[in-house]
Amino acid sequence: MHFAITCADKPGHLDLRLATRPRHLEYLDSQVDHIVVAGPLLDAEGKPTGSLLVVEFPDEAATQAFADADPYAQAGLFESVTIKPFRVVYPKA
């Protein structure tokens, strides 16, 4: 099943994001088979303010465990994290 994970950074935490980014990317590399698409959400100046991931896991509990294990989450970067079921329409499978 697909899920959309939307994460909003705490204001003023860009330095924490940048410092944690290498571990975050290593983590995503280790989970690449579950990732449909992932990347930062940006402000008007192109600076990251959060993350958006579309992932595939058997259920919401597995998706929550994936989100909780992200180094960004463990470092306390996020102000909020939402997980919602997601249906892929395009590109057509």
The total domain count for the chain is 1
- pLDDT, residue 61, reads 98
Mean pLDDT of the 10-26 span: 97
Q: Which domain holds residue 6?
A: 2-85
Identify the burial level of 90 via C-beta atoms within 10 angstroms of its C-beta, where 0-12 means exposed, 13-18 middle and 19 or more buried. exposed
Residue 36 has pLDDT above 70, yes or no: yes
Residue 91 has pLDDT above 90, yes or no: no
Q: Is residue 91 part of a domain?
A: no
Q: What is the CATH number of the domain that holds 16?
A: 3.30.70.1060
- pLDDT, residue 92, reads 78
- pLDDT, residue 93, reads 63
Residue from 90, 46, 57, 63 nearest 7 by CA: 63
CB 49 within 8 A of CB 59: no
Of the chain, the percentage scoring pLDDT greater than 90 comes to: 95
